[in-house]
Amino acid sequence: MTINYFKLRDRFDFTKDTLDIGNPITWAQGHFLKHFFKRLFSIPETRLKEFYIYHLEYYLISDKNGNEEKFFKNLWELIERQLKVLTNKDIYSANHIRTQRELEHLKKFTTILVALDRWNIHKSNDSVIAKQESEILALNKQVAMLKLDLQKATGLETQQYINIPKGGLLSFLDLCIQMQDIKLPSGKEITFAEFPIVWVKLICRYFREDHEEIDFNRVRRYFPKDRRNPGSRSASIPSDQHLFEIKG
């Protein structure tokens, strides 16, 4: 926890120039960050480096597994977050002057911290942000390309449809089936689909029966994968629906 990195003020310690965090009387440690920045803002600029060293030494003594890099990283993140909080405050707020004063104080502290940063932790955040911005730029380009591809793919799409009168669907399907058998003088089919499911998708997408959507599975029964061996799930057009004949 953040609180373990810094020395807390002892009870009834009324020292005026202390660098410890908290009040001399009982205080809620859940409000640690509030007290941390209250102390930081109260000390003069000349003691900012001393503040850093004071709490670093306390941390290294109290945590056998601790090291300065770990301490620095935790402190830097605290300062960075608070800078963002202060920067985003309303400039028309009644506390604007105080906010600006605290901002300047934190900026001076960050200058000291940067000079102490042997691990380039302050740069790592910038690099992460730069990387994220680069990724966002690449994603935006990808989205633009996908939108263009979608526009091309849907350029022929329409909200309109061809309507088949009620009760006329099977007669229409019969015509579609007949078309698969018609051949040109060259011997090639005038309409050829390697997979019959294309016919099913075409019919359900662009046709309606009595202005209602056509059930996909209903149509699929009449377009088996293999017309020579249709299987038990397939169906044939009833003889009374053979109303038309396409002649080649």
Tens digit of pLDDT for each residue in 57-91?
A: 999 999 989 999 999 999 999 998 898 888 888 77
Strands 212-213 and 207-209 turn out to be: antiparallel
In this prediction, residue 248 carries a pLDDT of 64
- Give per-residue pLDDT as tens, 147-197: 888 888 777 788 899 999 999 999 999 999 999 989 898 989 999 988 999
Count of CB atoms situated within 10 Å of the CB of 130: 10
In this prediction, residue 153 carries a pLDDT of 78
The span from the CA of 21 to the CA of 36, in Å, is 6
Question: For residues 7 and 30, which has the higher predicted lDDT (pLDDT)?
Answer: 7
In this prediction, residue 129 carries a pLDDT of 64
Q: Residue 113: pLDDT above 90? A: yes
In this prediction, residue 126 carries a pLDDT of 57
User: Domain boundaries in the chain?
Assistant: 2-127, 162-241
Given pLDDT bands bounded at 50, 70 and 90, which one contains residue 131?
low
In this prediction, residue 74 carries a pLDDT of 92
Q: Comparing C-alpha atoms, which of 221, 222, 204 is closest to residue 213?
A: 204
